[in-house]
C-alpha cells in the first residue's frame, strides 16, 4: 500500500523524467522502470533478460534509473552513462558496462566508453553538467 502511494506521488518523475534514459519504444504503452547499479551482480544478470523483453515486446518502454548504491565507482559509472546519452550512445554504453566482469574503476569505465566509440574528452566535459551531477 505504501509502495503504491509512493509510485502515485512520484509518477511523473518515475515514468516521464526527460533526464532518464529510455530503451525500447519511446512511445510504448507499457513502461518498465528499472533501478540498477553498474556494480550490482543481480543487475548485471538481469541485463540480458531486459534485452530479451525489449526485443519481444514492441510496445515496451524501459526507463532507466541509476541510483549509485555501491559507492564512488557506481556514482562515477552512472555519471559516465548519463554523459554517454549526450552522444546518443547511452544504451550501447549501458549494455557494455553491465557486461564487464568484476569491480569497476574509472579506468575500466573509460575503457568501456572507448570500446563503444564515445568521445572520452567530450564525455568528461559532459559529466560536469549540473543535470548529470545531481
Query: 30-35 and 60-65: which strand pairing?
Result: parallel
Of residues 37 and 19, the one with the higher pLDDT is 37
Closest among 106, 98, 130 to 34, alpha carbons compared: 98
Q: How far apart are CA 123 and CA 117, in angstroms?
A: 11
Chain segment 46-90, per-residue pLDDT in tens: 999 999 999 999 999 999 999 999 999 999 999 999 999 999 999
Per domain, the residue ranges of the chain are 2-133
Q: Give the CATH number of domain 2-133.
A: 3.40.30.10
What integer pLDDT is reported at residue 11 of this predicted model? 86
Amino acid at each position: 500500500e505504501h509502495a503504491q502511494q509512493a509510485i502515485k506521488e512520484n509518477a511523473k518523475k518515475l515514468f516521464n523524467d526527460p533526464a532518464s534514459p529510455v530503451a525500447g519504444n519511446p512511445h510504448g504503452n507499457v513502461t518498465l522502470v528499472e533501478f540498477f547499479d553498474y556494480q550490482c551482480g543481480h543487475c548485471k544478470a538481469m541485463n540480458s533478460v531486459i534485452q530479451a523483453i525489449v526485443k519481444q515486446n514492441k510496445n515496451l518502454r524501459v526507463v532507466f534509473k541509476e541510483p549509485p548504491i555501491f559507492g564512488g565507482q557506481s556514482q562515477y559509472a552512472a555519471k559516465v552513462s548519463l554523459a554517454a546519452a549526450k552522444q546518443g550512445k547511452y544504451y550501447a554504453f549501458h549494455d557494455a558496462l553491465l557486461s564487464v566482469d568484476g569491480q569497476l574503476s574509472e579506468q575500466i569505465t573509460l575503457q568501456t566508453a572507448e570500446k563503444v566509440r564515445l568521445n572520452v574528452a567530450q564525455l568528461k566535459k559532459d559529466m560536469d553538467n549540473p543535470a548529470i551531477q545531481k
